[in-house]
């Protein structure tokens, strides 16, 4: 066990992400679900069935006012997170948050300032940083096996969430989902973004772009391209995806691809060639929860974990890449009738 007593967490928001976190917490020997809070009566009824030993409520203030609660889990939509962070800091409770951490960039940076000027420790769910495959690649790179990183290529194209299926306050596809790939590119480069140019398309003539490709440079001279879109054959007979990372060095390469079930890492270095094939791992909540428990035990600030500042930088540049795409020709292909077909298929 990470510490003498279990960490008591109050979950706010028992929708999709809240339930996923809850399921992983139950598997851990260092966490205890003290509260589950939601304003949806169906969510509350489900919480009572799944967690009879927790206090289930629609009043979040019970959690903030309970001195025995160590951590707040913020799994509501983005429009509620800023006020919940403010309450957590006032109550001196540590924070696990979904991204983005607020509904606008201005609010997000205000949240960063609040957290960084407090004694509260926080971590954001940026699951790619916790994945076994990205960490294997990073270790290989740090050994000098591929020389200097020169090119970072990230692609994530899946059927995914269609428009109006869950993005709302988190923004279009490239912000809600794409910011993960913006973040992982920056994580590999270990540098901040410098120049960029974006191109997007309005698939099915929807009002917002649902595919975007951006390329550019980091301050340290590394170049990148990021391609993301939930546009990949939604109506094809057999669904598939195209998801990979390709790191090109001055001496070797490191790459990964996955199909949401299995991830394959191929490392071509100057002294060794390695191929690793293992289970994909999905959201890696177990790693995040273990990392945060260790962080609290050691009373450290951030370390190598995904903090609020990392999340806001990823969010900010995802929006900047989207804004840049809007300045360029933004074609529209397909029809809204096709989008209706996609919605009907996904319902079934």
Q: What is the pLDDT along the chain (348 residues), one digit of tens a residue?
A: 345 689 999 999 999 899 999 999 999 888 999 999 999 999 999 999 999 999 999 999 999 999 999 999 999 988 889 999 999 999 999 999 999 999 899 999 999 999 999 999 999 999 999 999 999 999 999 999 999 999 999 999 999 889 988 665 677 889 989 999 999 999 999 999 999 999 999 999 999 999 999 999 999 999 999 999 999 999 999 999 999 999 999 999 999 999 999 999 999 999 999 999 999 988 888 899 988 988 888 765 545 678 899 999 999 999 999 999 999 999 999 999 999 999 999 988
Classify domain 128-282+307-347 by CATH number. Answer: 3.30.360.10
The pTM of this model reads 0.92
pLDDT, residue 262, reads 96
What is the reported pLDDT for 105?
94
| Residue 114: closest CA among 131, 127, 130, 97 | 97
Cβ pair 10, 71 in contact under 8 A: yes
Task: From 25, 77, 69, select the one nearest 47 (Cα to Cα).
Answer: 25
Query: What pLDDT is attached to residue 294?
Result: 86
Tokens of 39: 């304003």
User: How many residues are listed for the chain in this entry?
Assistant: 348
The helix (run of H) or strand (run of E) holding residue 325 is helix 308-327
Q: What architecture is domain 7-120? A: 3-Layer(aba) Sandwich (3.40)
Distance CA 94, CA 88 (A): 7
Domain boundaries, the chain: 7-120, 128-282+307-347
According to DSSP H, which parts of 119-265 are helical? 132-142, 173-176, 178-189
Q: Are 104 and 114 in contact (CB under 8 A)?
A: no
The continuous run of DSSP H or E covering 65 comes out as: helix 61-65
């Amino acid at each position: 066990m990470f510490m003498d007593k279990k960490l008591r967490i109050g979950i706010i928001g028992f929708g999709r992400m809240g339930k996923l976190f809850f399921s992983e917490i139950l598997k851990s020997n260092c966490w205890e679900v003290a509260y589950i809070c939601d304003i949806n009566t169906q969510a509350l009824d489900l919480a009572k069935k799944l967690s009879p030993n927790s206090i289930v409520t629609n009043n979040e203030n019970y959690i903030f006012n309970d001195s025995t609660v160590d951590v707040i889990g913020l799994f509501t939509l983005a429009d509620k997170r800023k006020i919940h962070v403010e309450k957590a800091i006032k109550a001196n409770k540590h924070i696990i948050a979904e991204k983005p951490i607020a509904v606008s960039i201005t609010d997000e940076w205000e949240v960063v300032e609040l957290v960084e000027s407090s004694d509260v420790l926080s971590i954001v769910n940026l699951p790619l940083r916790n994945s076994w495959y990205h960490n294997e690649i990073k270790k290989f790179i740090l050994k000098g096996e591929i020389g200097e990183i020169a090119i970072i290529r990230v692609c994530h194209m899946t059927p995914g969430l269609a428009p109006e299926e869950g993005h709302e306050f988190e923004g279009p596809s490239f912000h809600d989902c794409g910011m993960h790939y913006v973040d992982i590119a920056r994580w590999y480069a270990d540098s901040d973004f410098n120049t960029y140019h974006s191109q997007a398309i309005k698939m099915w003539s929807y009002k917002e772009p649902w595919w975007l490709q951006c390329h550019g440079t980091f301050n340290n001279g590394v170049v990148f391209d990021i391609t993301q879109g939930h546009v990949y054959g939604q109506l094809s007979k057999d669904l598939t995806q195209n998801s990979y990372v390709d790191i090109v060095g001055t001496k070797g390469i490191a790459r990964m691809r996955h199909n949401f079930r299995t991830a394959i890492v191929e490392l071509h270095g100057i002294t060794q060639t390695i191929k690793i094939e293992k289970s994909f791992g999905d959201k890696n909540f177990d790693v995040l929860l273990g990392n945060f428990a260790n962080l609290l035990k050691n009373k450290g600030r951030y370390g190598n974990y995904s903090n609020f500042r990392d999340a806001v930088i990823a969010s900010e540049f995802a929006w900047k890449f989207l804004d840049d795409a809007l300045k360029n020709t933004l074609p529209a292909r397909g029809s809204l009738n096709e989008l209706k077909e996609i919605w009907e298929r996904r319902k079934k």
